[in-house]
Structure 1
Amino acid sequence: MNPKVDEFLEKSAKWQEELKRLRNIVLACGLTEELKWGQPCYTFNNTNVILLGGFKDYCFISFLKGVLLHDSENILQKPGENTQSGRIISFTEIQKINDLTPTLKAYIYEAIEVEKAGLKVVSVSKAELVFPDELLQKFKSDSAFKVAFEALTPGRQRAYNIYFTGAKSSKARASRIESYTERIMNGKGFNDCICGLSKRLPNCDGSHKYIT
């Protein structure tokens, strides 16, 4: 076990027991545990295979090449409409994790076999949504951010993309992406309320301006 992941889990305000259970299942399959991009990450021969994380409404196990798994139980989910490679299984209670333990192990072992075979995901370009290089680099360097972004609705992804690409320089685009990283990690859209005072939820109506 990686002490950095121990610390991460102890500080987790939500889904702590569920994430600990998922961690034990993954480790039992022989993967190497690391902490990458602020999330527990599990690798095989230095290749990222599994990511664990949690949002407000659920925690999840993410198979980074999940699209290549057979998914015999039909439980893998696309975290976002435009997701091509990753697939997740979400949980809101530990009992579901316990019930699915044998299946989860089978899927993890299959994911390891995918890496052993050197299988690659063939990307399909989507002309309607072209991301700037700075956002693609962010996806590459931060898998947790990529999972969170792809979990957004297509409309929310498009709104962020318009805002990011609207900056004229690469430095400005990168700055905009960093400024909105926390909001995206929390599953919020560009125009979503984050103070909870809006009368037009989930949209922001400017009520935060009157907080005293």
Structure 2
Amino acid sequence: MEENSHYGEELKLIRSIISKTELVETIKWSAPTYTLNRKNVVGFSASKNHFGLWFFNGVFLKDKHNLLINAQENNTIALRQMRFTHKDQINEATLLEYIKEATENQLLGKEIKPT
């Protein structure tokens, strides 16, 4: 994430929020990825124009705040992203709400396996 250091403070904030959950941090695909029982739940990263989280089985999230997008329509089935461009867009309570729901869905076994 060094090449995206312009989002360093924002990524530290996201990491601190996720650290309040029961998820275990690991590195996959060169990015922090959080797991439950060794199953991927959520990860985060930054690109040139935005930073955010991705939910591996986000298709099952209720998305009552309308924050999730499918980054690759017709290619991505389960993955959903939450994108930000500014630190002030991060609402801790809302992120924890989505992460909690994603964790509960994982515990329930809700997942779409890659084909």
TM-score, normalization by structure 1: 0.50
* Residue among 92, 95, 106 paired with 1:104: 95
Compare relative contact order (CA 8 Å, sep 6+) and give the higher one, 1 or 2: 2
SS of alignment partner, residue 77 of structure 2: coil
* Residue among 64, 67, 75 paired with 1:75: 67
* Residue among 99, 104, 114 paired with 1:113: 104
Could you say which residue in structure 1 is the equivalent of 2:6? Answer: 14
SS of alignment partner, residue 14 of structure 1: helix
- Over aligned residue pairs, what C-alpha RMSD do you find? 1.7
Question: Where in structure 2 are there 5+ consecutive unaligned residues?
Answer: none
Contact 2:24 2:36 in 1 (8 A): yes
Question: Where in structure 1 are there 5+ consecutive unaligned residues?
Answer: 1-7, 124-135, 137-212
Are residue 86 (structure 1) and residue 82 (structure 2) matched? no
Give the distance between the partners of 1:64 and 1:25, measured in 2 at CA: 18
Matched positions, count: 113
How do 1:185-200 residues align onto structure 2 when only pairs under 5 Å count? none
Q: State percent identity of aligned pairs.
A: 35
Contact 2:7 2:46 in 1 (8 A): yes
Could you say which residue in structure 2 is the equivalent of 1:59? Answer: 51
* Greater strand share, structure number: 2
Could you say which residue in structure 2 is the equivalent of 1:41? Answer: 33
Give the distance between the partners of 1:85 and 1:38, measured in 2 at CA: 20
Give the distance between the partners of 1:45 and 1:79, measured in 2 at CA: 26
| Deviation of 1:36 (Å) | 1.2
Contact 1:26 1:105 in 2 (8 A): yes
Give the distance between the partners of 2:5 and 2:64, measured in 1 at CA: 33
* Greater helix share, structure number: 1
TM-score, normalization by structure 2: 0.90
SS of alignment partner, residue 28 of structure 1: coil
- Can you list the C-alpha shifts for 1:48-82, whole angstroms capped at 9, x where unaligned? 11111111100110011000011111111111112
Could you say which residue in structure 2 is the equivalent of 1:200? Answer: none
Are residue 95 (structure 1) and residue 88 (structure 2) matched? yes
Computing the radius of gyration from Cα coordinates, the structure with the larger value is: 1
| Deviation of 1:90 (Å) | 0.5
Q: 1:45 is matched by which residue type in structure 2?
A: N
Give the distance between the partners of 1:69 and 1:121, measured in 2 at CA: 13
> Following TM superposition, where does structure 1 have runs of at least 4 consecutive aligned residues deviating by more than 4 angstroms?
none
